Chain A
Amino acid sequence: MSATTSNASVRSTEPLVWGNPSFHDVTQTVSGIVEERKTPIWWWVAISISGALTLNFFAMMAYLFWTGIGVWGNNVPVGWGWPIVNFVFWVGIGHAGTLISAVLFLLRQKWRTSINRFAEAMTIFAVICALIFPGIHVGRIWVAYFMFPIPNQMAMWPNFRSALMWDVFAVGTYFTASFLFWYTGLVPDWATLRDRAQTKWRRLIYGVLAMGWRNGNKQWKHYELAYLLLAGISTPLVLSVHSVVSTDFATSMQFGWHTTIFPPYFVAGAIFSGFGMVMTLAILARIVYPPVKNYMTVTTLERMAKVIMLTGMMVGYAYITEFFMAYYSGNKYEQFVFVNRMFGPYAWAYWIMFSCNVIIPQIFWSKKMRTSIPVLFVASIFVNIGMWFERFVIVITMHRDFLPSSWGMFKPTIYDIGIFAGSFGLFFTLFLLFLRFVPMIAMSEIKGVLPQAQVKHHHGHDEGGA
């Protein structure tokens, strides 16, 4: 495999890991976080907040199941409200993980190694949050299994013409693949933790998780192949999941939804929001675990900022294309939808979306901005806000459709807000558990990109760990 010149040059100019740690230092730093006896205070504070939100999430869902989805603000014409906004939002976030781990892996982007574990974990937690929403948004959750093609005595069969069915499979597959990919990458690190374990329980639990990993050459060979294959399998998923999610909208006949640009536009948006979220989390991790700074370096963050800017511009291009196509189609229904988005009662949401997604990322033309941690942090939050509003704008488009007689407005209720906040609670709870109990940086992989691993200068890519 030949590394591209640009990769080589990037590598030669900037070390991927700062502070020139030895292999042992890497193990020490990353495992140390997990093995630390005393759980830090901030962790307890953080998990009590996110845990409270999570409990509220489940309590509100219980109430929802008990009374009906009328507790939300959904109505006619806005049949889908925040639950679907949240679903698309979380699925979008879940994109960065696979992109970083699979696509950048195949593209030999070495800088990905410091954040891939992190991003994959985020992906899995985001997809878990995402999967909850389509489940709970249906009116009769107790028969939601009708969506699955289970042979039954009622002679029911799902309608495969419906994009919601495609969703079921696309997101399900994505979750499975992402999880396998993440877990496969974790196996050598589980083994490291097992080997370093001081207590019986640790040894047992990490031992089970490590699935008998012995660091044997044969095992590494299989591992490498499996990892490569999974990366290959996951790569199309990066494109497919959000493309399929976008068909929920694009295959309908509502203007503002019914456009062929949706699949690529959604994928770009997903990567954009995913990188935004990884950025937010990485900066937080750098704050709470300062040693991590040498791995999740400013250079890595800068590269992510470039991706954010690029995908932000793609999204901006999509917004403009949509608008232009509406104008160019000569279709007054479609034209109205876009004019209404920009100047209608929800124009504020549109402009929040537009500013956050298109204008704010433009600051990354400046290297100073790209390398300033506070700027990156604030911008990444804006990216997430903007992307949530993008989905809000799309879903709420329904409020003024074909017949003006049925036009209406959508107002979220306390349950919309509580459940949305609760999904963040769940996400952060899972993430905090991840930080505490799982190595957040792929030790084996990071060792492969250390200068020490490159002594032979024969092959650019990671042929093995320590």
Chain B
Amino acid sequence: MPSLKNGNSKPAYWRSMDQLADTDDFRQFVEKEFPGEAGQLDSPVTRRSFLTVMGASMALAGLTGCRKPVEHIVPYVSQPEDAVIGKPQFYATVMPRGTAPLGVVVETHEGRPTKIEGNELHPSSLGSSDLLALGSMLNMYDPDRSKRNLQNGAIKTWDDFVGWWQEHEAALAENRGEGFALLSESFASPTLNRLRSEFLKKYPRARWIAYDPISEENRDRGLAAATGSVQQPVYQFEDAEIILSLESDFLQGEEESVKHSRAFAAGRRVMKPEDTMNRLYVVESGQSTTGSMADHRLRMPAGRIAAFTAALALELEKKGLSIAGSDALAPYASHNFDRTWLEAVADDLLHHRGKSLVTAGRRQPAGVHALVYAINDALGNHGHTIRYRSREDVLGSDSAALKQLVDEMKGGQVGTLVMLGGNPVYNAPADLDFAGALKGVDVSVHLSEFVDETSKKVTWHLTRTHFLEMWGDARATDGSVSVIQPMIDPLYGSHSEIELVALMVSGEPVRGHDAVQETWMGRYLRGEGERGWRRVLHDGILANSGEQGGAPRVNARGVSSLLRDEPFSTDEPTRDNLEFVFASSYTLYDGRYANNGWLVEAPDPISKMSWSNAALLSKKTADDLGVKEREALILSANGVDIELPVYVVPGHADNSITLEMGWGRKGFGRVADGHGADIFPMRTSAGVDFALGGKATGTGRKLEIANTQDHGSMEGREIIREATLDTYRKHPKFAKEMVHVPDLKSLWKDWTWSEGYQWGMAIDLNVCTGCNACVIACQSENNVPVVGKDPVRNGREMHWMRLDRYFVGTIEDGRMVNQPMMCQHCEMAPCEQVCPVNATSHDNEGLNVMTYNRCIGTRYCSNNCPYKVRRFNFFNYTNKLPELIQMAQNPDVTVRSRGVMEKCTFCTQRINAGKYQAKAEGREVRDGEVKTACQQACPTNAISFGNINDPKSEVSSWKKNSRNYGVLEEFNTRPRTTYLARLHNPNPKLGDPVFDTEFVPHGGGHGEGHGSNGHGGNDHGAEAGH
């Protein structure tokens, strides 16, 4: 803090905090409050001293630059016409994420956003959302967010920066931007793109490139080779009868997963035996959400999938298909892939020309994407199940350009580097040594939401707005454009990338709103003016701005030259030459959500682990390495050693280890720091997606891991009931026939449940992908606390809803199945009978309700709950919540204190809101009017909720379905939540090891044993488990 010493000794008026900070009082205060630390004030600024000064000066002067929203919101001097205190308002906006933004609707209470939902009008969302979108709200309220602009660590105001920039800019403009580079994240935004061209006009010699550690770069390059230009695919999964995913996790991990989940579910939903369903083949290294839905799943190291694709193309050619660019495939003709599998898939694709779809994952090299384009083209799928648009307003990630930029930085050719978001010091390929290169840059500016790894190494750190605080716009993958509107004033006076670029372009501060409006009034709303603007804001999308797309001609030469220039690897990983797969985290993405309690504690859909990453590997690999479950494994690659716990995943490819990004942070935030290990140091330009040459050695030491589910086997119990489509057609009631439910009686007089609303839920396991969106939706809606790593390890997680994940099959080649599990609202609830104080009881609408005030916390109800869905407040989890996070809570839901039990309420607050509305309008609640939070979030519409007393309601029709069954209903619990059994659609040529025996319905006699002869004999018996 250099200015501490330089300021006037006794300023009559202080202008900056630095001047104020130099008063004697302040020094004494610091000495008293932080003994031994005051000396740091004179030393070069450390993060610690910065915080000290900030904390102390705020306490001393009551001066806060922080504008808490309460100041703006309460009280209304005059109440706005449409605002009713206590009633939430909903605003549409868009969550920008790379090249595929997601349309959302945000629930705000008295001006503070509390919940994110999907926007039904937006093509990427169709009303649903996902784990990351739902969780991203908490990022805005993160108390560890960057609160100040910093110049070399010293606090500066935005005006200081503007002043600095205006001085600095002159030189840049003079030499036309020579040595000026701008590094952003990939984006799809008309305004940002307009500003980009203006920027490049003003600084013709400057460069603006984008980099993201997780991107569609491989696909972009592949499609560019195959078609001549970068294309944006627009998939129509709903029309695809046969889908082959080449490590494409299109249901969760990849771009537009919400939209794709909805479309995939549409092709998979079966309501009557006559219905058809799609068939999904998945080839992948690790387990994924998409893999869990596969009818046939082939595990294979990620690096082998390219050669597999080539082999498939050759197989298709052999069967008479002509594939563009196949002349380059000769080297892959001999291979050791499962020929039966290959042939069966090829035949299936050939029999479904125009109705099939092959899709490659973002980790697969460009050549695979080009080849997949050619295959889809040859199969006639283009224009049917997949279309393409040429991209506009989009800047994609380009790692080659990043490498070039870094080289120039190291060579001292970059004088000014501006980074719009991103965190390249943390996540750029390790061999680039971005942090080192940054030293060769004279002036660097980083706009960031956190004082992250990059921010600590730059000249200027500028605090960046969260998307709920900013104006902006976005273009969806189908071309539709939307406006991003703020829900709240920036909490910390942050600025958006649009505002920063606009400043750099115009030399004057420009409000984000004005910049966006300028774009829109000029391009989309010409002649419509304010009315059109308001409509766009209201809808969250410009109507009819999307396009269907077409299918550009395949450029055979482009495909083959790419295949020749970048030949596929044919190396197989071995025990001593392991393949490391660098996977994006389902919960932290690339690490940007590392300080987000909801997401850090959200169990990974595959490993069910929270609070850490792990080395996910197969049983055989673990045995080969001589390591046991949870043993600390030292992984070495790129000269770096990291330590992670072993986690055996049935169905993982051998000699391949999946490592998740985003963990192992230091100095990032109170939630993020110290959990898991950072894998980015292992990730080099040569292998950003996966790399051979990894080594792993066991240590014999066990690491504690916090997972919400320890046991992966169903133990032969009929919990998730499944059958093949064939069996279903022969035995439509197979799910019910699997278990004999005797005619059970009640101990007391039965309630008839025949009057008024009777709430019930049904969950279609056939379309549930296990993505966990519902879990976070529930957490956000119901103020479910985050408890921390140790409590989770001790089985004290508070999630009202969980995704039970079981493995079926062998430990080597296990298949993953999922089941959402929450309070089943049993009509004969075991919990209610044992509560000594009547704290949990039934209401006349069939809800199992908790009276928190009455609960004394005997936990008898939890003991007696066969579903174990009750959650107990072992401590007071809410009293120490930072004030900011308290603002993220839903005021319609009671915050629970210590010592009481809680559980799913079927979103009783939403039921009541629906009933009030209906009563005010003098009608009954309409079917579908009340949606639970989980139901609303679900991308596949797997959850139906409503009045089961209304025979016409959707949930009633689901419950009448022959696949409907209640978990553990043979114990007379009479659950109000029931499940529709899962179906499989295996290729008869391949059969299905799990379903290869004939279904034998349950004998029916009570004496014959309950369900011991379920489907396929004891097919769950030989299960993989932990």
Q: In whole angstroms, how far apart are the Cα atoms of A248 and B859 in the complex? A: 12
B713 at the interface (CB under 8 A from A): yes
Q: In whole angstroms, how far apart are the Cα atoms of A407 and B836 in the complex? A: 25
Q: Which residue of A lies closest to B804 (CB)?
A: A405
Distance (whole angstroms) from the CB of B898 to the closest CB of chain A? 5
Residue in A68, A76, A405 whose CB lies within 8 Å of B821: A405
Distance (whole angstroms) from the CB of A399 to the closest CB of chain B? 9
A459 at the interface (CB under 8 A from B): no
Q: In whole angstroms, how far apart are the Cα atoms of A46 and B830 in the complex? A: 47
A165 at the interface (CB under 8 A from B): yes
Q: Cβ of A404 and Cβ of B717 under 8 Å apart?
A: yes
Distance (whole angstroms) from the CB of A250 to the closest CB of chain B? 12
Contact flag A77-B875 (CB < 8 Å), given A140-B898, A158-B838, A253-B866: no
* B674 / chain A contacts, CB cutoff of 8 Å: none
B959 at the interface (CB under 8 A from A): no
Q: Is the interface of A mostly helix, strand, loop or mixed?
A: loop
Q: In whole angstroms, how far apart are the Cα atoms of A332 and B1014 in the complex? A: 12
Residue in B709, B859, B1008 whose CB lies within 8 Å of A139: B859
Q: In whole angstroms, how far apart are the Cα atoms of A73 and B874 in the complex? A: 10
B919 at the interface (CB under 8 A from A): no
Residue of A69, A70, A144, A405 contacting most chain B CB atoms (<10 Å) = A405
Q: Type the 1/0 row for B777-818, where 1 means its CB is closer than 8 Å to any CB of A.
A: 000000000000001001110000010111000000000000
B855 at the interface (CB under 8 A from A): yes
Q: Cβ of B1009 and Cβ of A330 under 8 Å apart?
A: yes
Q: In whole angstroms, how far apart are the Cα atoms of A408 and B819 in the complex? A: 18
Q: In whole angstroms, how far apart are the Cα atoms of A69 and B821 in the complex? A: 26
* B862 / chain A contacts, CB cutoff of 8 Å: 76-77, 79
Q: Type the 1/0 row for A392-419, where 1 means its CB is closer than 8 Å to any CB of B.
A: 0000001011111111110100000000
Q: Cβ of B874 and Cβ of A68 under 8 Å apart?
A: yes
Contact flag A162-B872 (CB < 8 Å), given A79-B862, A330-B1012, A332-B1011: no
B899 at the interface (CB under 8 A from A): yes
* A248 / chain B contacts, CB cutoff of 8 Å: 860
Q: In whole angstroms, how far apart are the Cα atoms of A363 and B1011 in the complex? A: 44
* A70 / chain B contacts, CB cutoff of 8 Å: 791, 796, 874-875
Q: Cβ of A76 and Cβ of B837 under 8 Å apart?
A: no
Q: Which residue of A lies closest to B718 (CB)?
A: A332
Q: Which residue of A lies closest to B859 (CB)?
A: A79
* A137 / chain B contacts, CB cutoff of 8 Å: 858
Q: Cβ of A158 and Cβ of B868 under 8 Å apart?
A: no
Q: Which residue of B lies closest to A404 (CB)?
A: B711
Q: Cβ of A156 and Cβ of B855 under 8 Å apart?
A: no
B384 at the interface (CB under 8 A from A): no
Number of interface residues of A (CB under 8 A): 52
Q: In whole angstroms, how far apart are the Cα atoms of A88 and B806 in the complex? A: 36
Q: Cβ of A164 and Cβ of B805 under 8 Å apart?
A: no
Q: In whole angstroms, how far apart are the Cα atoms of A377 and B741 in the complex? A: 52
Contact flag A147-B710 (CB < 8 Å), given A75-B794, A331-B1010, A405-B802: no
A67 at the interface (CB under 8 A from B): yes
Distance (whole angstroms) from the CB of B964 to the closest CB of chain A? 19
Contact flag A407-B711 (CB < 8 Å), given A76-B872, A137-B858, A140-B857: yes
Residue in B835, B875, B898 whose CB lies within 8 Å of A159: B835
Number of interface residues of B (CB under 8 A): 62
Q: In whole angstroms, how far apart are the Cα atoms of A408 and B710 in the complex? A: 7
Residue in B794, B835, B858, B1011 whose CB lies within 8 Å of A73: B794
A57 at the interface (CB under 8 A from B): no
Residue in A75, A140, A405, A408 whose CB lies within 8 Å of B856: A140
Q: Cβ of A332 and Cβ of B716 under 8 Å apart?
A: yes
* A333 / chain B contacts, CB cutoff of 8 Å: 717
* B710 / chain A contacts, CB cutoff of 8 Å: 407-409
Distance (whole angstroms) from the CB of A19 to the closest CB of chain B? 52
Distance (whole angstroms) from the CB of A374 to the closest CB of chain B? 41
Q: Type the 1/0 row for A303-331, where 1 means its CB is closer than 8 Å to any CB of B.
A: 00000000000000000000000000011
Q: In whole angstroms, how far apart are the Cα atoms of A76 and B901 in the complex? A: 11
Q: Type the 1/0 row for B841-873, where 1 means its CB is closer than 8 Å to any CB of A.
A: 000000000000011111110111011101111
Distance (whole angstroms) from the CB of B595 to the closest CB of chain A? 24
A52 at the interface (CB under 8 A from B): no
* A332 / chain B contacts, CB cutoff of 8 Å: 716-717, 1009-1012
Q: Cβ of A253 and Cβ of B864 under 8 Å apart?
A: yes
A384 at the interface (CB under 8 A from B): no
Q: Cβ of B833 and Cβ of A162 under 8 Å apart?
A: yes
Q: In whole angstroms, how far apart are the Cα atoms of A69 and B866 in the complex? A: 23
Q: Cβ of A67 and Cβ of B875 under 8 Å apart?
A: yes
Q: Type the 1/0 row for A142-172, where 1 means its CB is closer than 8 Å to any CB of B.
A: 0110110000000011110111110010000
* B337 / chain A contacts, CB cutoff of 8 Å: none
Q: Cβ of A138 and Cβ of B856 under 8 Å apart?
A: yes
Interface residues in B688-720 by Cβ distance below 8 A to A read 709-717, 719
Q: Which residue of A lies closest to B796 (CB)?
A: A75
B900 at the interface (CB under 8 A from A): yes
Distance (whole angstroms) from the CB of A158 to the closest CB of chain B? 6
Considering the complex of A and B, which 6 residue pairs feature the smallest CB-CB distances, nearest first? A139-B857, A139-B899, A70-B874, A406-B868, A405-B804, A79-B859
CB<8 Å pairs between A and B, sample of 5: A76-B870, A147-B837, A158-B836, A163-B834, A404-B1025
